[in-house]
Amino acid sequence: MNNNQGQGKPIISDQQLQRIMPKLPEDKRQVFLPFLNRVMAISAIDTPLRAAAFLAQIAHESGELRFLEEIWGPTEAQRRYEPPGSLAERLGNTEPGDGKRFRGRGPLQITGRYNYKKYGELLGVDLVSNPDLASTPQIGLSIAGMYWTKNRLNQLADIGDFTGITRRINGGLNGQASREKYYQTAKEALGITRRRRIGTEPA
């Protein structure tokens, strides 16, 4: 079990992470695990229900932490990221090439100049000048944890509203079947039984 760099008992163990994300190679698990535990602690993702929801969502969004950068075609949908256009405007993409420059990165795939600027300022990192930093384990997971906190997703996790979490992250329910599968696996790995009620300890 990882010692979380002296910060006490880790929220998630290597064995649990392996069960939730079996496609993630062992060497990468060892890289991500300390950052995961640190970010989850900072973001108060510190109960089994919160951890299960968080890990399920990032497992789906990042292909089990194997893909931290959106593959750029560009596809027809990706061309809409480029200005001018309503989607580009919402994303804060104002300059030619912003769509590709600020494509989805990190475990929760932040997109657009606006979000890179916002989360970069919150973290004290210049993501606008260095957007690739968002795809590193440390910064990418820090952004995911901050996004989780800013959007009050722990509150939804506490009441088991996993669909509501997906809507806030995705804007819809794309890939919900995959997300739900990860969620069930994560709950089982973290000792949450199907009939356990919120506020009770696992048997």
Residues with catalytic function: 61
Give the side-chain half-sphere CA count within 13 A for 197: 1
Distance CA 174, CA 51 (A): 21
Q: 40-72 burial string, b = 16+ CB within 10 Å, else e?
A: bbebebebbbbbbbbbbbbbbbbebbeebbbee
E strand or H helix at 48, and its extent? helix 48-61
DSSP state of 47: S
Structural tokens at position 30? 């060892």
**Helix, strand, coil distribution of the chain in percent, nearest 5:** 55, 0, 40
| Three-class SS state of 69 | strand
Distance CA 70, CA 111 (A): 9
